[in-house]
Amino acid sequence: MNIGQAAKASGVSAKMIRYYESIGLIPAAGRTASGYRVYGQTEVQILRFIRRARDLGFSVEKIEELLALWRDRSRHSADVKHIATTQIAELQDRIAGMQAMVDTLRHLADACCGDDRPDCPILADLEQGTGVTKH
């Protein structure tokens, strides 16, 4: 199949397929005599793997590790679990950071009168630029 068909079958855009190929995340595609990339079911399966891993927030570096473990039939599931639990902790940290942003914005929005006056605690906080969250 060509790159467009592989993109459709895997859910990964053609642009990302070319990128993954350029960084070695997927093997270089075979080429037709006219130079078009050709993909088979194996490549589509790898692309689906990558897509699902990206959907779960894994970095390209972690996906490389996961792909290596996936290909290694003598792998230890503990190695895979370690990567997954590390990812969980990183996601929880990001969630906590986003919740802090929500709390800060909620506090600032509640402090703003939202009327015709020019005074605005939201803009005042942004102007300070200190990054200090206020609750």
The verdict on 43 and 10 lying in the same domain is yes
What local confidence, expressed as pLDDT, does residue 131 receive?
61
What local confidence, expressed as pLDDT, does residue 129 receive?
84
Q: With contact defined as beta carbons under 8 Å apart, do 10 and 54 qualify?
A: no
- Average confidence (pLDDT) over 56-73: 97
Question: What percent of the chain is modeled with pLDDT above 70?
Answer: 96
CATH number of residue 24's parent domain: 1.10.1660.10
- Average confidence (pLDDT) over 24-45: 93
Q: Which domain holds residue 44?
A: 1-57
The H or E element that residue 71 is part of is helix 60-71
- Average confidence (pLDDT) over 59-66: 97
Side-chain half-sphere of 131: how many Cα atoms within 13 Å? 1
The verdict on 88 and 133 lying in the same domain is yes
What local confidence, expressed as pLDDT, does residue 122 receive?
93
The neighbouring-strand residues paired with 86 are none
In this prediction the pTM is: 0.81
- Average confidence (pLDDT) over 38-60: 97
State pLDDT tens for residues 82-135: 999 999 999 999 999 999 999 999 999 999 998 998 999 999 999 998 765 554
Q: Is 25 domain-assigned?
A: yes
Total domains present in the chain: 2
The verdict on 91 and 37 lying in the same domain is no
Q: Is 134 domain-assigned?
A: yes
Ramachandran category for residue 72: left, alpha or beta (phi over 0 → left; psi -120 to 50 → alpha): beta
The verdict on 87 and 124 lying in the same domain is yes
Q: In whole angstroms, how far apart are CA 48 and each of 24, 65, 103?
A: 16, 16, 37
Q: Is 65 domain-assigned?
A: no
The verdict on 50 and 90 lying in the same domain is no
